[in-house]
Amino acid sequence: MPTDDPSAAPLWRPYTQMKHAAPPLEAVRTHGSRIVLADGRALVDGIASWWTAVHGYNHPHIAAAVSEQLGTMPHVMFGGLTHAPAERLARRLAGLLPGDLNHVFFTDSGSVAVEVALKMAVQLWLNRGEAGRTRILAFRGGYHGDTVGAMSVCDPEEGMHRRFGAFLPSQLFSDLPRTEAEAATLDGILARHRTELAAVIVEPLVQGAGGMRMHPPEVLATIARLARRHGLPLIVDEIFTGFGRTGTLFACEQAGIVPDILCLSKALTGGTMALAATIATGEVFSAFWSDDPGAALMHGPTFMANPLACAAADASLDLFAREPRLEQARAIGTRLAEGFEPLRGRPGIADIRTLGAIGVVQFAEPPDLATLKARLVERGVWVRPFGDVVYLTPALTIGRDDLDHLIESVVSVSTGVASHRAI
């Protein structure tokens, strides 16, 4: 039960008003697409643990790779040392990414991968002798993480960090260029602010935590073209979209673009360990390649390139190579689209949309999220609705019965919640 005694809450939970929050469910075990609770119930996970567990939980191939690494070298500092798991993973990632995104900097969370990308962009200009380029152009509706630099490029008005405006670096914001007029506006902003801008940052094809808003590949291609026209590096944040979520291994493939800097995390280790990567092209990297020690990238998290996490990621890439994950993602998308279709046009439902293995139901008005979630838990479903959306991003390996159960539950509970609100 919620309590009036703050001292009764030693564990501070994410995105949670601790005073009023119901106690969280206690998870004791996971397997496949299931989260088993302490009271014995098993929930079908509709969101793959914040979009990480693409192969389902406890995949034996990843578990075996991590166990083996655990017995050899769980961790060693990366300053001045290297190790095979990191070397191998960096080479494999470079081989999978488009163009010459070949220079991999490992960190331990998505937000920090974004921090490193922003820092790389600013320092790239410092190293080239242009000290005034310290601002980033980002898009309204975007979300890039919870650390200071990452917060500064999230949507400044609608985003969860909007109260921090006075504390954050001042960035520039634009609407996504969905129309020619919006592209012309973006072009104008980039032209006017060119000498103070260090980079453009975007979530490709879908703005995730900002509202699960999707855009076609042409919009991404327009952003890449305009960034290039103004000589600005493009940072593509694939932390949500990377590793099959949009139906291709990386979302930027669908627009045929090669960003200058790309961020990965979440599904990188198949949801097993914390790991992230900021990956730069040869051109970006060469701005740091210098006789001047001051031109080096001054960043180095203690746990960067953790060998256990690199081993997990390497094993996850094996699974992408040998199992039909992208076909599975597309098949999930087809099923999500069919399954959500009956909701289209229903009272209280503003939109339904899908992309790859992402299915979204958007309500006309924000529903009572606690009730929505509780009803889904009663049906044995784990999701995390926010704002005015409930969405599914299951493991790409989810079985047909579990997927159908997720879809039917979301459709049924959403219909109830939406029609109640629409009365």
Rounded to a whole number of angstroms, the minimum distance from the CB of residue 236 to ligand PLP is 10
Rounded to a whole number of angstroms, the minimum distance from the CB of residue 114 to ligand PLP is 5
Rounded to a whole number of angstroms, the minimum distance from the CB of residue 239 to ligand PLP is 4
Determine whether 5 is an active site residue. Answer: no
SS (H, E, C) 250-282: CHHHHHCCCCCEEEECHHHHCCCCCCEEEEEEH
Determine whether 15 is an active site residue. Answer: yes
Rounded to a whole number of angstroms, the minimum distance from the CB of residue 210 to ligand PLP is 9
- Between CA 199 and CA 232 the distance in angstroms is 5
154 or 317: CB nearest ligand PLP: 154
Determine whether 260 is an active site residue. Answer: no
Determine whether 404 is an active site residue. Answer: no
54 or 209: CB nearest ligand PLP: 209
Active-site residue, selected from the candidate residues 57, 108, 266, 373: 266
- Between CA 267 and CA 309 the distance in angstroms is 11
33 or 265: CB nearest ligand PLP: 265
42 or 160: CB nearest ligand PLP: 160
Rounded to a whole number of angstroms, the minimum distance from the CB of residue 153 to ligand PLP is 10
Q: Which of 227, 237, 324, 228 is nearest to 279 (CA)?
A: 237
- Between CA 300 and CA 321 the distance in angstroms is 30
- The 261-264 sheet, strands edge to edge: 101-107, 276-281, 261-264, 234-237, 197-202, 135-139, 172-174
- Between CA 81 and CA 306 the distance in angstroms is 12
CB 299 within 8 A of CB 28: no
**What is the total residue count of the chain?**
423
By CB under 6 A, name the binding residues for ligand PLP.
Answer: 109-111, 114, 143-145, 203, 208-209, 237, 239-240, 265
Alpha helices in 31-156 (DSSP H): 48-51, 60-72, 84-96, 110-127, 148-152
Give, in order, the Cα–Cα distances in Å from 29 to each of 41, 100, 392. Answer: 11, 41, 21
- DSSP letter for 286, please: H
Distance of CA 260 to the CA centre of its chain: 18
User: What token pair was written down for 188?
Assistant: 């104008």
69 or 111: CB nearest ligand PLP: 111
Rounded to a whole number of angstroms, the minimum distance from the CB of residue 276 to ligand PLP is 7
Rounded to a whole number of angstroms, the minimum distance from the CB of residue 145 to ligand PLP is 3
Active-site residue, selected from the candidate residues 45, 108, 237, 402: 237
Active-site residue, selected from the candidate residues 45, 57, 143, 373: 143
127 or 354: CB nearest ligand PLP: 354
Q: Which of 265, 298, 306, 261 is nearest to 101 (CA)?
A: 261
Q: Which residue is nearest to ligand PLP (CB)?
A: 110
CB 365 within 8 A of CB 18: no
206 or 287: CB nearest ligand PLP: 206
Give, in order, the Cα–Cα distances in Å from 344 to each of 19, 155, 207, 384. Answer: 37, 28, 21, 21
Tell me which residues are annotated as active site.
15, 143, 237, 266
